[in-house]
């Protein structure tokens, strides 16, 4: 699955980085030979700050590694500049070694917010997690899931029979959501795609676009016969009874992109890929 971000309207302002960046950048690499070798060269050129002393983080890898970095530094809102040493690189900038400092100073910021999942399990325990891509409900056995859907406390679908369903962030709409035939959503749209996964009944229902402020509640029907798991990025909760999903605007993430290759532009371009 392609890693992606969630989000609300992005900022296109240049981030306020100090004039002197040498020795104030923390470099991180994915556990691959290519990424680790690139990190060693960058550290030799620019130094390597401890994360608690850095003003910007540079992630060397692919989209999956960028997702790991965002989770690792959630709550600190340190700007992260990714450089593609992986395969897809949807969230990454092009890889160059010799012009990093001017690229960081010219970079544009995308301010994003995660989804918060609150899942009630079979033992009556409420478990919470943040999702940067999407929150998905998935059947655990051969039996299709049966799920009731409420939005802002109002029932919208009394019964969905399916393999699963997900709520995506706008930038995350290019990841699992797109693979499940959900719509791609521009970052500034303030919309959350809700997309069924292999819906059996109602067979023609293709999902919904919800306001960014919406609170979604999924209630699992017949949980003993049709157990369902809830997944928020890396966190999986088995045998859930209900799952609440909403955007958490108290948590921010900042990604940096070269001006000619912003995240908003990539999301638009993805819709014209054939």
- 18-39: pLDDT as tens digits: 657 877 899 999 999 999 999 9
Predicted pLDDT of residue 111: 83
175 is in an annotated binding site: yes
Active site residue 63: yes
Helix runs in 56-192, H state only? 63-72, 100-106, 176-179
Using an 8 Å Cβ cutoff, are 92 and 110 in contact?
no
Concatenating the DSSP letter of every residue in 119-173 gives: EEETTS-EEEEEESSEEEEEE-SSSPEEEEEEETTEEEEEEEEESEEEEE-TGGG
Q: Was 260 annotated as part of a binding site?
A: no
Determine the Cα–Cα distance for residues 139 and 172; give it in Å rounded to an integer: 21
Residue 124: its pLDDT value, please? 97
172 is in an annotated binding site: no
> Is 145 marked as a binding-site residue?
no
Averaged pLDDT of the chain: 89
pTM of the full structure: 0.83
Find the mean pLDDT for residues 214-236: 97
pLDDT > 80? residue 212: yes
Maximum average pLDDT range among 93-107, 123-137, 186-200, 245-259: 123-137
Contact assessment for residue 149 and residue 160, using Cβ atoms and an 8 Å cutoff: yes
User: Which residue among the candidates 63, 121, 258, 260 is catalytic per the annotation?
Assistant: 63
Distance separating alpha carbons of residues 56 and 253, to the nearest angstrom: 12
Show the domains of the chain with their CATH numbers: 25-113+251-270 (3.40.50.10330), 115-247 (2.60.200.30)
Q: What is the pLDDT of residue 222?
A: 97
Token match 């004039």: residue? 19
d(CA 23, CA 250): 30
């Amino acid at each position: 699955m392609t890693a992606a971000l969630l989000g609300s309207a992005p900022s296109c302002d240049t981030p306020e980085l100090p004039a002197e960046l040498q020795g104030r950048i923390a470099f991180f690499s994915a556990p691959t030979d290519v990424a680790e070798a690139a990190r060693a060269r960058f550290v030799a050129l620019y130094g390597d700050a401890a994360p608690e002393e850095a003003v910007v983080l540079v992630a060397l890898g692919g989209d999956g590694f960028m997702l790991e970095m965002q989770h690792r530094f959630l709550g600190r809102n340190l700007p992260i500049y990714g450089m593609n040493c992986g395969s897809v690189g949807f969230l990454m900038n092009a890889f160059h070694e010799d012009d990093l400092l001017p690229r960081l100073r010219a970079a544009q910021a995308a301010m994003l917010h995660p989804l918060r999942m609150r899942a009630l399990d079979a033992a009556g325990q409420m478990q919470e997690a943040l999702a940067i891509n999407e929150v998905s409900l998935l059947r655990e056995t051969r039996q299709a899931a049966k799920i009731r859907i409420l939005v802002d406390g109002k029932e919208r679908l009394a019964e969905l029979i399916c393999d699963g369903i997900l709520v995506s962030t706008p930038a995350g709409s290019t990841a699992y959501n797109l693979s499940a035939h959900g719509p791609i959503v521009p970052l500034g749209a303030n919309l959350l795609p809700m997309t069924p996964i292999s819906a059996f009944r109602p067979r023609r229902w293709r999902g919904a676009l919800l306001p960014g402020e919406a609170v979604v509640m999924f209630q699992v029907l017949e949980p003993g016969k049709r157990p369902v798991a809830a997944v928020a990025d890396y966190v999986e909760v088995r045998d859930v009874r209900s799952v609440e999903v909403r955007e958490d605007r108290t948590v921010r993430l900042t990604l940096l992109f070269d001006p000619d290759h912003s995240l908003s532009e990539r999301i638009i371009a993805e819709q014209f890929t054939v």
